[in-house]
Amino acid sequence: MTDTKSGQPAQPAQPAGPAGPAGPMIDLKGVSKWYGTFQVLADCSTKVEKGEVVVVCGPSGSGKSTLIKTVNGLEPFQKGEILVNGVSVGDPKTNLPRLRSQIGMVFQNFELFPHMSITENLTIGQVKVLGRSSDEAMQRGLKLLDRVGLIAQKDKFPGQLSGGQQQRVAIARALSMDPIAMLFDEPTSALDPEMINEVLDVMVDLAKEGMTMMVVTHEMGFARKVAHRVIFMDRGSIVEDCTKDEFFGTQRSERAQQFLSKILHH
Amino acid sequence: MGGEFDWGVIWKYREALWDGLVTSFKLFGIALAGGIFFGTLLAMARLSSFRLLSVPAAGFVNLIRSIPFIMAIFWFYFLTPMIVGKFTGQQGEAVGPFTSAIVAFIMVESAYYSEIIRAGIQSIPRGQPWAAYALGMNYWQSMGHVVLPQAFRNMLPVMLTQAVILFQDTSLVYVVGLKDFLGAASKGGQITGRIVELYIFVAVVFFLICFLASWGVKKLNARLAVAR
Q: What is the pLDDT of residues A205-226, one digit of tens each?
A: 999 999 999 999 999 999 999 9
Residue from B175, B178, B177, B198 nearest B186 by CA: B198
From A16's Cα to the closest Cα of chain B, the distance in A is 13
Residues B113, B94 contacting (CB under 8 angstroms): no
Residue B86 is predicted with a pLDDT of 74
pLDDT of A14 over the 50 cut: no
Residue A251 is predicted with a pLDDT of 61
pLDDT of B33 over the 80 cut: yes
Q: Do B130 and A174 touch (CB under 8 A)?
A: no
User: Cα–Cα distance between B202 and B184 in angstroms, integer?
Assistant: 10
Q: Is A163 exposed, middle or buried (0-12, 13-18, 19+ CB in 10 A)?
A: middle
| Range B197-221 average pLDDT | 89
β-pair type (A213-216, A53-57):
parallel
pLDDT tens-digit map of A135-163: 999 999 999 999 999 999 999 999 999 99
More confident: B34 or A36: B34
- The percent of residues above 70 in pLDDT, for chain B, comes to 94
Task: For A104, list phi and psi in degrees, rounded to 5.
Answer: -80, 145
**Averaged pLDDT score across all residues of chain A:** 89
**ipTM exceeds 0.90:** no
HEC secondary structure over chain A = CCCHHHCCCCCCCCCCCCCCCCCCCEEEEEEEEEECCEEEEEEEEEEECCCCEEEEECCCCCCHHHHHHHHCCCCCCCEEEEEECCEECCCCCCCHHHHHHCEEEECCCCCCCCCCCHHHHHHHHHHHCCCCCHHHHHHHHHHHHHHCCCHHHCCCCHHHCCHHHHHHHHHHHHHCCCCCEEEEECCCCCCCHHHHHHHHHHHHHHHHCCCCEEEECCCHHHHHHHCCEEEEEECCEEEEEEEHHHHHCCCCCHHHHHHHHHHHCC
Residue A252 is predicted with a pLDDT of 66
Backbone torsion region of residue A65, taken as left when φ is above 0, otherwise alpha when ψ lies between -120 and 50, otherwise beta: alpha
Residues B42, B110 contacting (CB under 8 angstroms): yes
pLDDT band at A6 (very low <50, low <70, confident <90, very high): very low
B138 part of contact set with chain A, CB < 8 Å: yes
User: Cα–Cα distance between B130 and A70 in angstroms, integer?
Assistant: 12
Residue A20 is predicted with a pLDDT of 55
3-state helix, strand, coil in chain B (%, to 5): 85, 0, 15
Q: Do B131 and A111 touch (CB under 8 A)?
A: yes
pLDDT tens-digit map of A42-77: 999 999 999 999 999 998 889 999 999 999 999 999
pLDDT of A88 over the 90 cut: yes
Half-sphere exposure of A144 (CA within 13 A, CB side): 24
The chain A residue lying nearest B131, using CA atoms, is A111
pTM of the model: 0.84
pLDDT band at B94 (very low <50, low <70, confident <90, very high): low
pLDDT of A87 over the 90 cut: yes
Q: Do A124 and B135 touch (CB under 8 A)?
A: yes
Q: How many Cβ pairs within 8 Å bridge chains A and B?
A: 61
**Mean pLDDT highest for which of A16-20, B184-188, B205-209?**
B205-209
Q: Is B54 exposed, middle or buried (0-12, 13-18, 19+ CB in 10 A)?
A: middle
Amino acid at the residue A30: G
User: Cα–Cα distance between A101 and A179 in angstroms, integer?
Assistant: 7
| Range B44-73 average pLDDT | 93
Amino acid at the residue B93: E
- Name every residue whose Cβ is closer than 8 Å to that of residue A247 and which is 6 or more positions away in sequence: A223, A229, A230, A232, A240, A256
Chain B residues within an 8 Å CB radius of A113: 128, 131-132, 145-146, 150
Residues B111, B37 contacting (CB under 8 angstroms): no
Chain A residues within an 8 Å CB radius of B146: 113
Q: Which helix (H) or strand (E) holds B33?
A: helix B14-47
| Range B58-80 average pLDDT | 89
Residue B90 is predicted with a pLDDT of 66
- Name every residue whose Cβ is closer than 8 Å to that of residue B22 and which is 6 or more positions away in sequence: none
The chain A residue lying nearest B126, using CA atoms, is A111
Residues B158, B214 contacting (CB under 8 angstroms): no
| Range B127-136 average pLDDT | 96
Residue B3 is predicted with a pLDDT of 56
Among A14-23, A61-70, B125-134, B164-173, whose mean pLDDT is lowest?
A14-23
Q: Do B138 and A97 touch (CB under 8 A)?
A: yes
The chain B residue lying nearest A183, using CA atoms, is B134
pLDDT band at A247 (very low <50, low <70, confident <90, very high): confident
HEC secondary structure over B45-61 = HHHCCCHHHHHHHHHHH
Angle subtended by helix axes B195-227 and B14-47, to nearest 10: 40
Chain B residues within an 8 Å CB radius of A95: none
